């Protein structure tokens, strides 16, 4: 009888574990890490001599198991999101590839912006067309995949996505084209027919695409982000690169965290999960946190009457944490530089 009872207890524990670890159609968004930018950025012949640190912040996305969903209800700064809201029409692998592209693009923009500000020479290398998604009806569906870079169409190279799209539009639906593309360093080719994209019978491959670029500078800048994806480290990367290029201690011995996308003109854009990033920064004792401050238009107010900017959400998070960390709103790279140079 005792053995049978012991067996039932173990069976119950195993079943409990299986239920707790079974993935449900959700993700849990939680605080990630606040990591020194100096650990992932190298500037040739310009080592980092700052007494403080710039930190870039991340959000952790965990599988929506029953156990994780339960913990998300208990632990602070955790949010349950439907899988569809995170992945869209992509699967996990496709989502990770697009996030790696966003990180690569953020790094390119950070290098360009920092080089411009530091008056350092740089140039852009055009790699081709990056495949972001593929329509189910595309005849290339079984051959292309998200993350491929198309380098030629019908053995012709183009200097931007617009020229590539213009060439495709001059062809007719049903006409065959040959794509040359790269995947994991290997060059491949495929020939298939174009499809009709709309009622006007505009021809297309059936993909969403973006330009794939690489920025080269002198001195050379390398960014080793590893498995970290997404565009939100752009601002903090640019600050680290600029500080090393001009050999200035912009931190003045402080720990300075932040987040925000950055474009080639130095504009800083909003990101998701800023409250979780504030939490991660507070854990690393950051004194200052740069937060994007976007403009709220009338249309945005009409559609989302309770919309709050990244800056407002970051302020709420600091108040909730009872933290002395100062939230600094920025709309551009220049805003952040000006603040650092005038607030020692």
Active site (annotated) includes residue 193: no
Given the DSSP bridges, would you call strands 203-204 and 79-82 parallel, antiparallel or unpaired?
A: unpaired
Q: Could you say which of 232, 276, 323, 332 is catalytic?
A: 232
Give 309's strand partners: none
* CA atoms within a 13 Å half-sphere pointing along the CA-CB vector of 215: 23
CA distances from 157 to 127, 163, 180, 212, 226 (A): 10, 9, 10, 13, 30
Nearest of 5, 53, 24, 32 to residue 240 by alpha carbon: 53
Does residue 276 have an active-site annotation? no
Please give the Cα distance from 127 to 204 (Å, whole number): 21
> Which residue in the list 217, 277, 323, 332 is annotated as catalytic?
277
The residue whose two tokens read 């993909």 is 207
Rounded CA separation 150/175 (Å): 18
Active site residues: 232, 277
């Amino acid at each position: 009888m005792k053995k049978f009872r012991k067996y039932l207890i173990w069976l119950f524990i195993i079943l409990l574990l299986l239920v707790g670890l079974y993935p449900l159609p959700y993700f849990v968004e939680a605080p990630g890490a606040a990591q020194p930018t100096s650990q992932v950025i190298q500037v040739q012949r310009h080592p980092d001599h700052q007494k403080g640190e710039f930190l870039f912040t991340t959000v952790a996305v965990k599988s929506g198991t029953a156990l994780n969903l339960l913990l998300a209800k208990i632990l602070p700064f955790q949010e349950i999101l439907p899988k569809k809201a995170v992945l869209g029409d992509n699967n996990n692998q496709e989502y990770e590839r697009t996030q790696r592209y966003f990180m690569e693009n953020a790094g390119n923009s950070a290098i360009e912006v920092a080089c411009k500000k530091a008056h350092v020479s740089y140039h852009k290398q055009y790699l081709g067309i990056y495949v972001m998604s593929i329509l189910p009806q595309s005849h290339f569906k079984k051959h292309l995949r998200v993350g491929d870079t198309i380098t030629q169409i019908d053995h012709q190279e183009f200097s931007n996505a617009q020229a590539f799209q213009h060439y495709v539009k001059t062809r007719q639906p049903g006409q065959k084209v040959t794509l040359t593309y790269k995947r994991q360093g290997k060059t491949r080719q495929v020939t298939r027919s174009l499809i009709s994209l709309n009622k006007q019978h505009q021809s297309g491959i059936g993909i969403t695409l973006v330009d794939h670029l690489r920025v080269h500078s002198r001195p050379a800048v390398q960014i080793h982000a590893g498995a970290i994806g997404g565009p939100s480290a752009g601002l903090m990367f640019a600050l680290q690169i600029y500080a090393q290029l001009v050999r200035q201690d912009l931190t003045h011995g402080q720990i300075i965290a932040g987040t925000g996308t950055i474009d080639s003109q130095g504009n800083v854009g909003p990101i998701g999960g800023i409250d979780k990033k504030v939490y991660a920064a507070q854990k690393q004792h950051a004194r200052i946190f740069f937060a994007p401050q976007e403009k709220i238009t009338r249309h945005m107010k009409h559609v989302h009457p309770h919309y709050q900017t990244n800056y407002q959400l970051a302020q709420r998070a600091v108040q909730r944490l009872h933290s002395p960390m100062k939230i600094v709103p920025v709309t551009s790279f220049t805003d952040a530089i000006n603040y650092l140079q005038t607030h020692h």
